[in-house]
Amino acid sequence: MEEPALFAELGIVDGLRILDLGCGDAATGRKLLDAGCRSYLGMDGSASMVQAATATLHGTTGRAVQVDMEDFSASPSSFDLIVSRLALHYVEDVAPVLAACHRCLSPGGRLVFTVVHPMLSSYDSGTQGTRTSWVVDDYFVRGARQREWMGGTATWFHRTIEDYVDALKTAGFALSSLRECEPNEERFAGDVGEYERPRRVPLFLLIAAGRL
Ligand SMILES: C[S@@+](CC[C@H](N)C(=O)[O-])C[C@H]1O[C@@H](n2cnc3c(N)ncnc32)[C@H](O)[C@@H]1O
């Protein structure tokens, strides 16, 4: 559901050198390459995701590497745009990641990322299946949250919206856009029930910032 807001925010990518942090299967990378970006590098901490990304990028100039975001570094000015989609909330401390982004972006380069909306990442009631109610609690209690997920434990790190904005400013970025990814009725193809549900609470937060 954050895809329309993300691509609207990315705008024309023609000729850009793009880095994707937490690229998953690089489906986004494939779209960016189809849209004419000059180069695409996906990074992901999971070997199986990098394998899936490599398959997705087969036959293109894009590539994917296994690197934890916390450890990534690249040459100064080696990218024009950094994208990160639904991955930064898995990082405990975003400050070093944002500093590394700042170092490797060209002057005027942009960082655009989405995360699970802090309204949702604050508290997890453990409900399985389709949610019909949401609880916002412990909003100003930052840090790890966990839930049982596919036979294991999924851990994410809650931050407030203000925390993301402050971390960007500290890393040397200027906020250019903040979107809460309101659902687009056309994407629900007449399924009013499914459209009404995500209108009740914001699910995703998108932040775009420019390198100062
Ligand atoms: C919800 S998936 C999103 C994948 C992709 N960006 C997309 O939108 O389809 C989150 C991805 O972040 C990766 N990830 C989580 N923590 C990471 C870390 N510390 N460093 C690098 N990748 C990480 C996971 O392996 C996973 O592929």
Q: Which residue has the higher pLDDT, 171 or 124?
A: 171
Residue pair 112/80 in contact by the 8 Å Cβ criterion: no
- Give the Å distance between the CA of 22 and the centre of ligand 1: 4
Q: Looking at the predicted structure, is the pLDDT value of residue 59 above 80?
A: yes
Separation of alpha carbons 106 and 128, rounded Å = 43
Return the beta strands (E) in 52-127 as ranges: 63-66, 79-85, 105-116
Given ligand 1 and candidates 7, 23, 149, 204, which is best to mutate, with the most ligand atoms within 8 Å of its CB?
A: 23
Pick from 107, 110, 98: nearest CA to 168: 98
What does the pLDDT read at residue 133? 86
Helix (H, G, I), strand (E, B) or coil at 119: helix
At residue 108 the predicted structure's pLDDT band, cuts being 50, 70 and 90, is very high
What does the pLDDT read at residue 205? 98
- Give the Å distance between the CA of 190 and the centre of ligand 1: 31
pLDDT tens-place string over residues 136-187: 999 999 999 999 888 899 999 999 999 999 999 999 999 999 999 998 888 8
| Token pair of 94 as six digits | 């975003």
C-alpha pair distances (Å), 29 with each of 97, 122, 150, 200? 20, 30, 26, 31
Residue pair 185/195 in contact by the 8 Å Cβ criterion: yes
Residue ranges and CATH numbers for the domains of the chain are 3-118+159-211 (3.40.50.150)
Could you tell me which residues are beta bridge partners of residue 64? 42
pLDDT tens-place string over residues 80-92: 999 999 999 999 9
Torsional class of 101: left (φ above 0), alpha (ψ -120 to 50), beta (otherwise) = alpha
Spell out which residues line ligand 1, taking CB within 6 angstroms: 22-24, 27-28, 44-46, 49, 68-70, 85-87, 90-91
- Give the Å distance between the CA of 23 and the centre of ligand 1: 6
Beta carbons within 8 Å of 74's beta carbon, 6+ residues apart:
19, 100, 103, 104
Given ligand 1 and candidates 48, 86, 88, which is best to mutate, with the most ligand atoms within 8 Å of its CB?
A: 86
- Looking at every residue in the chain, the average pLDDT score rounds to 95
pLDDT tens-place string over residues 11-26: 999 999 999 999 999 9
Q: Looking at the predicted structure, is the pLDDT value of residue 40 above 80?
A: yes
What does the pLDDT read at residue 80? 98
